[in-house]
Amino acid sequence: MSLAIVYGSSMGNTENAANLICEKLGIEADVLDVANTSADTINGYDKLICGTSTWNNGDMQDDWDSFDFGSLKLSGKTVAVFGVGDSQGYSDEFCDGMAKLFNELKNAGANLVGEISTDGYSFDESEALNNNGNFVGLALDYDNEEEMNEQRVDNWIKIIKPLFS
């Protein structure tokens, strides 16, 4: 089984999150910057964890925003997502970029896993909520709640690790 953690990061926070997830997961994985990664490369992995920050009016990070999602072939592959947002400055679009990434991966056939409760988060609105009112993946905030990120990653790893082992 091969695993890649693919991230798009402008300020370094999403890259830091990708590396922390890799470390905490404790499974051999390639950590890839989507800016230097093609759809063909991503298609070569059995399982994926993908992350983005949120920019502008709830957009994915620029490198994901310009990525060729039409060439992804993820049918039957287990995929989890994580997002980085600002729950205070952009409280009405917290981690919306993660929602857009989730939808693109779903459209490529991915079997998406890793939803988490919104308990303990402070925000007004987010497109990254599913029908159960949970985040579609791990939501992190390096601007206002950085001290909570490691525990949030630990809690998420407990949920997804059995699906990636």
Provide the residue ranges of all domains of the chain, joining segments of one domain with +.
Answer: 3-163
What is the C-alpha to C-alpha distance for residues 108 and 91, in angstroms, rounded to an integer?
29
pLDDT at res. 1: 79
Tell me the C-alpha to C-alpha distance, in Å, between residue 136 and each of 15, 36, 82. 19, 25, 8
Contact of 161 with 21, CB cutoff 8 Å: no
Q: Please report how many Cα atoms fall inside a 13 Å half-sphere around the Cα of residue 59, on the Cβ side.
A: 12
CATH superfamily of 3-163: Flavodoxin domain (3.40.50.360)
- Return phi, psi of residue 93, to 5°: -145, 40
Alpha-helix runs per DSSP H in 9-145: 13-25, 39-43, 62-65, 96-107
DSSP state of 129: B
Here the tokens at position 140 are: 């992190």
- Return phi, psi of residue 142, to 5°: -85, -15
- What percent of the residues of the chain are helix, what percent strand, and what percent coil, each to the nearest 5? 40, 20, 40
What is the C-alpha to C-alpha distance for residues 128 and 53, in angstroms, rounded to an integer?
12
pLDDT at res. 84: 98
pLDDT at res. 81: 98
Q: Which residues pair with 152 in a beta bridge?
A: none
Q: What is the mean pLDDT of each run of 10 residues along the chain (165 residues)?
A: 95 97 97 98 98 95 96 97 96 97 98 97 97 97 97 98 94
